[in-house]
């Protein structure tokens, strides 16, 4: 069964330092992977996705993610963190095909990023 794990509940980083939010996955076949961000009292916003192609994917707000097939990981990164990046981050993976002929999405439990001034 497809699954995704975010091993850290919280990540603290100083403003201006690089940040990494970790995600590992388990799927059969090729993975379709996503990152979303949730600001307080808001819905999730799409940041980036990996479907195929280059292992380094660039997304919104200066974020990027590195797909590593051998380590089954899809870590979110940013070269220089901002205080405004403080939020809850979710990794998601395409789940199995349903009887409706559509795919579900499986979300991780989320990682809270705190960028300290």
For other proteins, the binding residues (CB under 8 A) are 32, 34, 36, 41-46, 49, 51, 90, 94-95, 98-105, 107-110
Closest CB to other proteins among residues 7, 18: 7
Report the distance separating Cα 113 and Cα 91, nearest Å. 13
Nearest distance in Å: CB 11, other proteins: 16
Burial 61-90 (b: 16+ CB within 10 A, else e): eebbbbbeeeeebbbbebeebeeebbbbbb
Nearest distance in Å: CB 55, other proteins: 17
Nearest distance in Å: CB 46, other proteins: 4
């Amino acid at each position: 069964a497809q699954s995704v794990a975010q091993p850290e509940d919280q990540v603290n980083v100083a403003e201006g330092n690089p940040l990494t939010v970790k995600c590992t996955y388990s799927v059969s076949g090729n993975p379709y992977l996503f990152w979303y961000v949730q600001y307080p009292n808001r819905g999730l916003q799409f940041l980036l996705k990996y479907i195929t192609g280059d292992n380094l994917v660039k997304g919104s707000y200066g974020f990027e993610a590195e797909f590593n097939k051998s380590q089954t990981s899809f870590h979110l990164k940013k070269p220089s963190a901002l205080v405004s990046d403080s939020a809850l981050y979710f990794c998601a993976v395409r789940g199995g095909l349903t009887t409706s002929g559509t795919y579900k999405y499986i979300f991780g439990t989320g990682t809270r990023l705190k960028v300290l001034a």
